[in-house]
Structure 1
């Protein structure tokens, strides 16, 4: 996937909604399919609280809920450990919420709890990070795994001149989405980037200080390191913060997946040349619209189902109950000030 194709396909859509994460629409206008009503309740369960990426996705969920006349409440653990979401799932099921919208910390650890919630009549939509398919009704994917892997490798290759040692700074070792992207990056490095060597994959557990410390350890352990790829918004910001005040600034490239507001200062000071992401506000918005369509009975999650997603237009459910938001978008010094999330 080339940068030009991403820009051509995604610029208009992303620019149109880039400011949306600052607040919700809430005007009860043209959102959704009209199936939701005031008694539709949804629980938004991110991997952990206090993460700017999930704060933006929850803002999008709130925007959609306002338009649909539904209620959404965000709950979640402070840390993104495999089973830390289970108590929140159990509580939501006991409360009889209409839908759970979950970014899974582990593909199986929360499965039993989700099964019980589904048995109680709660619709389950995963977003951002999936469970095993049998534990949910739909997965709203931010982009295809192949597209995300391709874009990150394209970025790091461009920034290190197509050769040298790189490392990956991931979230938790159990994160479904991170592991899928890393596996694809490993495969594509072997086949398409013979002069780039992946020397280590480290895990910062989506914790700022841990990710900061792991960055320091990577740079100390690999003196010839030319780049760090961090496919997590917490990790890339922590890595950039470390590099920005170190001897490695301008020598070691940092890229991956981040939000404009987190990364703006590092792009402006030259620590980071470019990075990628989708709009997390849109992701939360789409997941909420999908959950509302499930609750209303407009879709079942079967392949080929279609539903109206408000300002995002119509979406079609793909194989294994997957709905794809779109392609990654690249942020750099030329466009980062056009976005606020």
Structure 2
């Protein structure tokens, strides 16, 4: 609790100072709010945001602010509420907890603060709280992860899906894409129907796993699951969680390098950050399906500037594309980024 209060207080002081400086310079302050700030994926979005800030020559400030760690979403919701209270000029947020962020955003329209979501969206009933979503087609990430697994394991098998958080809409949509594609049947809503033999695929007991974006926890989950189920056919994280700790990941995945190489284990992971592609090149994964976080942060700033200039909001949704990487195309698979 003390850590939370200190973080919130420091943020409030910093925001007040930033808002004052922005007002003095007649600069628009746009907040880019990630789920957490200790994640290399979101670092890429920040880099895109800062590039837009530089290109726009002082017309905007990219205010990158979020929780230090990804918890249940309460701290992020409080940050969003504080941004609205302080009167920033625009907000682009990646909701850690979709319902909590929807509630936090209810004052934005009245304050005439345009809101975009990126990376992860609000739930269908709450999408009126933002103008548009900018980011990945999350269902399609799941589809492509499943296709890679099916290519390696055409007859199906035992599978474990590792997700970020049970309340994270983007990860639920990815899980639905995985399950629907493997089952060969469209489910009614995210996270889809649990695999129980459809097309030969069965989710093992204890899965799906939820990491809450806790990277050490994700590596431990992976180690425990692969150890508990030596006959597991596929392990699919819906985010890069275990690979974001490359040394720890190497220690675990290295034990299964021969199984990965032979196709006995399909280890297919979301995201394609440079450290992850190094692991793919080293034979410690079967494939990666990546997003373009740099473009999300970059485009969000330009879209908010256009809205403040009286132009129409971007198309809803605006997708930023995917990259599908395998050991065969790893040198050339990245199509977007900085």
Q: TM-score by structure 1 length?
A: 0.76
1:59 maps to 2:47: yes
Of residues 220, 225, 248 in structure 1, which corresponds to 2:232?
225
- Cα offset for 1:202? 0.4
User: Counterparts of 1:154-303 in structure 2 under 5 Å?
Assistant: 154-191=147-184, 194-199=199-204, 200-237=207-244, 240-246=249-255, 248-251=256-259, 252-299=265-312, 301=313
Q: How many residues align?
A: 284
Partner residue in 2 for 1:309: none
Greater length-normalized contact order (CA 8 Å, ≥ 6 residues apart)? 1
Give distance in 1, aligned partners of 2:91 and 2:203: 37
1:113-161 CA-to-partner distances (Å, cap 9, x unmatched) read: 2112332221111100011302212111322x44222211011122334
Of residues 320, 325, 332 in structure 1, which corresponds to 2:320?
325
Partner residue in 1 for 2:109: 118
Contact 2:159 2:232 in 1 (8 A): yes
Partner residue in 2 for 1:32: none
Partner residue in 2 for 1:137: 131
Give distance in 2, aligned partners of 1:234 and 1:295: 36
1:78 maps to 2:86: no
Which runs of 5 or more residues in structure 1 are unaligned?
A: 1-36, 302-315
Q: TM-score by structure 2 length?
A: 0.77
- Cα offset for 1:233? 2.0
Contact 2:271 2:291 in 1 (8 A): no
